Chain A
Amino acid sequence: DAEITQSPRHKITETGRQVTLACHQTWNHNNMFWYRQDLGHGLRLIHYSYGVQDTNKGEVSDGYSVSRSNTEDLPLTLESAASSQTSVYFCATSRGHTGELFFGEGSRLTVL
């Protein structure tokens, strides 16, 4: 079955370190998204991509970057982790004609 895989599922890091969260999908969907989920804020869009070599900033993109070198992967990088980036991160893809989102299992990041 097609799926979305996120790794690591849990990570603890220190302030100032670089962290990369991986997202791999086998849906062959062009659209991919990264969201963060925090209590009281719902899900907020960090970055998104409509296809290979395409990346765009979402509403909370400061301190994050993404790259899209193939259809399957959209890694999310925190260049210098901050405590404010402690959150649960979800990767998602969308089916083009309906726009329905399919989510990965999430990555819980703690920045100490």
Chain B
Amino acid sequence: ELKVEQNPLFLSMQEGKNYTIYCNYSTTSDRLYWYRQDPGKSLESLFVLLSNGAVKQEGRLMASLDTKARLSTLHITAAVHDLSATYFCAVDITGTYKYIFGTGTRLKVLA
């Protein structure tokens, strides 16, 4: 059974600081996704990582994928309040287009 674990589950950080969210998964997959959800809203796609070593960056967020370690990271650089949200990683069970989500990391950036 594929399990996807995120840590930390809750992160409170000061503006301007850097931090990393980790996403570990338990079985082989080459496709990993990051989504953002604001309170009471839907999920929006942030990053699509489709191969080992993939790195994507958008503004203050950078995501990477290590399929050998079954690990993805979402790095936050110089956090700002607007980044406050819940971040989910999701893994595609290879070849099936079935996606298993982590439980999410709730990020709160304090001014």
Interface set of A (CB-CB < 8 Å, partner B): 31, 33, 35, 40-45, 48, 50, 58-59, 90, 94, 98-106
| Known interface pairs A41-B103, A42-B102, A43-B101; A98-B44 also in contact (CB < 8 Å) | no
- Of residues 33 through 48 on chain B, the ones whose CB sits less than 8 Å from some CB of chain A are 33, 35, 41-45, 48
Give the contacting residue for A99; candidates B31, B102, B104; CB below 8 A.
B31
Dominant SS at the B interface?
Answer: strand
With A and B bound together, what is the CA distance between A106 and B39 in angstroms?
12
Give the contacting residue for A58; candidates B41, B43, B92, B98; CB below 8 A.
B98
Q: Which residues of A contact B103 (CB under 8 A)?
A: 40-42
Interface set of B (CB-CB < 8 Å, partner A): 31, 33, 35, 41-45, 48, 50, 88, 90, 92, 97-104
With A and B bound together, what is the CA distance between A10 and B48 in angstroms?
31
Nearest-Cβ distance from residue A52 to partner chain B, whole angstroms:
16
A-B contact count (CB 8 A): 54
**Contact yes or no, A99 B48, CB < 8 A:** yes
Q: Which residues of B contact A99 (CB under 8 A)?
A: 31, 33, 48, 50, 92, 97, 99
**Contact yes or no, A43 B98, CB < 8 A:** no
